[in-house]
Amino acid sequence: MERNIRLVIAYDGTDFHGWQRQPGLRTVQGEIEAVLMRIIRHPVNLAGSGRTDAGVHARGQVANFKTTSVVPPDRIRRALESRLPADIGIRTADDVHPDFIATSSAEAKMYRYRIYHAPTRPVEQMAHRYTYHCWIDLDIERMRSAAGHFVGAHDFSGFMNAGTVRESYVRRVLACTVTRQEQEIHIDVEGTGFLYNQVRIMVGTLFEIGRGRREPDALPEIIASRDRTRAGQTMPPQGLCLEWVRYPAHLLVPPEPSAPTDPPEPTA
């Protein structure tokens, strides 16, 4: 009987060429698939919730795969953890509904961008692999004021890499917040889906507003222009982390086993 198993995965993206399997390159998907095939003893296609870029991290990446193996999910998790390199961790493994697909079943996901905002280098706090270092003044109140303009459904074609082609460039942002925690500024962006590099460009635009190069009230016009040259820079990847992905509750549990049927009555 085929089963559908969901993995929740954490990884340090520094030394990976992103999530997606690529011939001859070290990727998160490639590393996990290679180990997984040795555990369940058949080829596997691990479908991730999204393709994080080279250098981008994850605390809550989600992936699923189909298998006929009878190995229990927690044993699969422990076997993966014991064989994978130290920069990948499997947080959970669960049997889920056959219709669960990590990519298309997602309701929302949240990314956090961390800016280390201090004159000293982040290596002093062992944060240099996970933050972008900014030592110049940033006005966090201006950034907060602007962030709210991202919320809602907008055409974000001005906030993606030039040349990217999609059927629709409309994406819904559910929340965008800017907070300070000691030496770090955290920009959290929650949405139903994102274009390529959208979050890093959103953060780059808020960064320029924080520096005083743009006004917070100019953001609606920048979004409406759909012009990539009007938005900010694409921020470096090391500050970005996929924190979590949310799914409908009914897809996170396997279907109830069918009740046995009575054998047919013997015929004369």
Note whether 236 and 197 are within 8 A (CB): no
| The length of the chain, given as a count of residues | 268
Predicted local confidence at residue 167, as pLDDT: 83
Domain CATH number, residue 154: 3.30.70.660
Q: Report the domain count for the chain.
A: 2
Cα–Cα distance measured from residue 144 to residue 151, given in angstroms and rounded to the nearest whole number: 12
DSSP string, 15-41: GSS-SS--TTS--HHHHHHHHHHHHHS
Q: Is residue 256 part of a domain?
A: no
Contact criterion met (CB below 8 Å) for 20 and 204: no
Query: How far from each other are the two terminal CA atoms of the chain, in whole angstroms?
Result: 35
Residues 82, 116 within the same domain: no
Structural domain boundaries, residue 204: 108-246
Mapping DSSP to helix (H, G, I), strand (E, B) and coil, where does residue 90 land? Answer: strand
pLDDT (tens digit per residue) in 167-189: 899 999 999 999 999 999 999 99
- CB 203, CB 187: distance < 8 Å: yes
For each of the chain's 268 residues, which pLDDT tens digit applies? Answer: 899 999 999 999 999 999 999 999 999 999 999 999 999 999 999 999 999 999 999 999 999 999 999 999 999 999 999 999 999 999 999 999 999 999 999 999 999 999 999 999 999 889 999 999 999 999 999 999 999 999 999 999 999 987 677 889 999 999 999 999 999 999 999 999 999 999 999 999 999 999 999 999 999 999 999 999 999 999 999 999 999 999 999 999 998 765 555 555 554 4
Give the domain-ending residue among 83, 104, 125: 104
Assess whether 114 and 222 both reside in one domain: yes
pLDDT at 268: 43
| One domain for residues 52 and 27 | yes
Q: Scan for tokens 């390159």, then name that residue.
A: 25
Q: How many other CB atoms are there within 10 angstroms of residue 85's CB atom? A: 14
| Residue 36 resides in a domain | yes
What amino acid positions are annotated as catalytic residues? 53
**pLDDT at res. 162:** 73
For the stretch 99-111, pLDDT in tens is 999 999 999 999 9
Q: Are residues 156 and 91 in the same domain?
A: no
Same domain as 224, residue 112: yes
Choosing from 74, 104, 134, the residue where a domain stops is: 104
Same domain, 190 and 215: yes
For residue 47 the two structure tokens come to 């479908």
Whether residues 95 and 117 fall in one domain: no
